[in-house]
């Protein structure tokens, strides 16, 4: 598990980018739900952490494809491919991302 930040440091409607390889971002919806996605848009090189969270999706800041935070799937062009999702857990008030192997992530 990778520690991200204290839960209190990520307000609803905000995101936190982890500079891993590849980068991963954690998003907190207005409802307080937490989700983690690969940060780089599958269309071009844009950081989804710079996008806008609306309900349970994040809108890419470059060309506005919206990725479902639960599935990573875009709602339409120009992005066609889903970004990977990652489980998020909160342990002792700290957000953590659980990194899955490539095999686990596909199943």
> Which residue has tokens 């995101």?
15
| Closer Cβ to ligand FES, 43 or 99, answer by number | 43
* Contact pick of 18, 26, 37, 60 for ligand FES (by CB under 6 A): 60
| Closer Cβ to ligand FES, 29 or 42, answer by number | 42
Question: What would the two tokens of residue 103 be?
Answer: 């095999």
> Which residue has tokens 């992530």?
105
Q: Which stretch binds ligand FES (CB under 6 A): 3-11, 29-37, 55-63, 95-103?
A: 55-63
**Residue 62 binds ligand FES, judged by CB under 6 A:** yes
**Residue 65 binds ligand FES, judged by CB under 6 A:** yes
Q: What are the start-end ranges of the E strands in the chain?
A: 2-6, 15-18, 24-28, 34-38, 52-54, 57-59, 66-68, 85-86, 88-91, 94-97
**Residue 81 binds ligand FES, judged by CB under 6 A:** no
């Amino acid at each position: 598990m990778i520690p991200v930040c204290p839960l209190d440091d990520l307000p609803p409607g905000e995101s936190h980018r982890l500079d891993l390889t590849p980068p991963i971002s954690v998003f907190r919806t207005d409802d307080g739900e937490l989700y983690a996605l690969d940060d780089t848009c599958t269309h071009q090189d844009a950081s989804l952490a710079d996008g806008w969270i609306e309900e349970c999706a994040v809108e890419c800041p470059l060309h506005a494809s919206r990725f479902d935070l639960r599935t990573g799937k875009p709602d339409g062009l120009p992005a066609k491919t889903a970004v990977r999702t990652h489980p998020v857990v909160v342990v002792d008030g700290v957000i953590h991302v659980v990194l899955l192997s490539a095999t686990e992530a596909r199943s």
